[in-house]
Amino acid sequence: MAKVNPGEMLPQERQQWILDRLRQRGRVVALELAAEFAVSEDSVRRDLRELAAQGLCKRVYGGALPLSAAVAPLKQRRQEHAGRKLALARKAVTLVRRGQVLLIDAGSTNAAIATMLPQDLGLTVVTNAPDIAQILLEREGFEILLIGGRVDVRIGAAVGAQAMQEIQRIRADLCFPGACAVDAIGGLWGFDSEEVLLKRAMVEASGEVVVVATSDKLGTVATHRVAGIDEVQHLVVEHDVGRALRASFGAQGLAVHRADAAAA
């Protein structure tokens, strides 16, 4: 952005600057913005309210967070950033131990994890996603439990009451919930209320929770909260995630695992 006297910015210019800062840092604080712009906190709060009303951010106490992009259909997500997701998957599977029961949610990143799981560890995989079950059927060495129920085509997985009941009868060692958004303060978020209830049940049924997230989902929120950040033990992030953002999650007690750079 061109050098401008902050106190002389028009409201629209301030709001664009705020959006740029949200993309760079993952959150903004109203008090800090007021000092930078040399305007009152009320002016900044008004800017944040207008941006939130346009669906461009989410107001939180003291400032704002960016909104995660709405989730595209699974067929489309499979084709997006495949190399980055495989790099995340390679790092994520290093957390898996022999003989564990894994609960793997639907999602294109979790499908990549299924392709990377070691075949010689005697793993049991519980999933509500038919495509993940199919990936594992084509490999050797896995016990597979497919959660049943109504399959949501957009999500690519079973959701609803039957799926909830089946998950509540399971105890898993490690859970990989699909992440729509994850914030160091607010925790793990999702968009679909029915799907969020299922993700919540997965978290409650597991000893440890591993969130594997592409960079666009970090420092963002969505409509419904799945779990608090204190309920997540591990976060796997991409190679290029900045030190400050990694530290914000580490400060909450998470073990942050940085993937290797994706192949060109």
Among 17, 36, 66, identify where a domain stops. 66
Domain boundary among 42, 66, 90: 66
Q: What is the pLDDT of residue 38?
A: 87
- The verdict on residue 18 lying in a domain is yes
pLDDT number for residue 95? 98
Residue 25 sits in the same domain as residue 88: no
Kindly state whether residues 222 and 249 are assigned to the same domain.
Answer: yes
pTM of the model: 0.74
Please write the tens of the pLDDT for every residue from 64-109.
Answer: 877 665 454 555 555 566 889 999 999 999 999 999 999 999 999 9
Q: Tell me: do 56 and 90 sit in the same domain.
A: no
| Helix 30-37 / helix 41-53 crossing angle, nearest 10 deg | 120
The answer to the question of residue 130 being in a domain is yes
SS (H, E, C) the chain: CCCCCHHHCCHHHHHHHHHHHHHHHCCEEHHHHHHHHCCCHHHHHHHHHHHHHCCCEEEECCEEEEECCCCCCHHHHHCCCHHHHHHHHHHHHHHCCCCCEEEECCCHHHHHHHHHCCCCCCEEEEECCHHHHHHHHCCCCEEEEECCCEEECCCCEEECHHHHHHHHCCCEEEEECCCCEEECCCEEEECCHHHHHHHHHHHHCEEEEEEECCHHHECCECCEEEECHHHCCEEEECCCCCHHHHHHHHCCCCEEEECCCCCC
Q: Are residues 110 and 171 in the same domain?
A: yes
Same-domain check for residues 78 and 188: yes
* pLDDT for residue 80: 61
Residue 31, domain CATH? 1.10.10.10
Q: Are 137 and 181 found together in one domain?
A: yes
The pLDDT assigned to 252 comes to: 94
To 10 degrees, what angle do helices 30-37 and 11-25 make? 130
**How far, rounded to the nearest angstrom, does the alpha carbon of residue 5 sit from its chain's CA centroid?**
37
- Look up the domain containing 15 and give its range: 6-66
CA 102-205-119 angle, to 5 degrees, is 5
Same domain flag for 136 and 182: yes
Q: What is the per-residue pLDDT for 125?
A: 98
Residue 264: what pLDDT?
A: 58
> Running along the chain, 264 residues long, what does each successive block of 10 average in pLDDT?
59 85 75 86 87 77 68 54 90 98 95 96 97 95 95 87 94 95 90 90 97 89 89 96 92 95 75
Around 158, how many Cα atoms within 13 Å sit in the side-chain half-sphere?
22
Distances (CA, A) of 43 to 33, 149, 165: 10, 50, 49
Q: Does residue 135 sit in the same domain as residue 248?
A: yes
Residue 5 is predicted with a pLDDT of 59
- Same domain? 24 vs 114: no
123 and 57 fall within a common domain: no
In a domain, 264, yes or no: no
Last residue of a domain, one of 66, 95, 115: 66
Residue 74 has a pLDDT of: 52
pLDDT at 200: 96
Residue 89 lies in a domain: yes
Domain membership of residue 1 (yes or no) is: no
Integer Cα distance of 262 and 244 in angstroms: 21
**Is residue 178 a part of any domain in this protein?**
yes
Handedness of CA 170, 174, 177, 178 (dihedral sign): negative
Report the CATH number at residue 79.
Answer: 3.40.50.1360
* Residues 98, 13 share a domain: no
CB burial readout 31-57, b (16+ within 10 A) else e: eebbeebebeeebbbebbeebbeeebb
Instruction: Verify that 122 and 25 share a domain, yes or no.
Output: no
For residue 105, being part of any structural domain is answered with yes
What's the pLDDT at 78?
57
pLDDT of residue 53: 78
Q: How many domains does the chain have?
A: 2
pLDDT at 120: 94
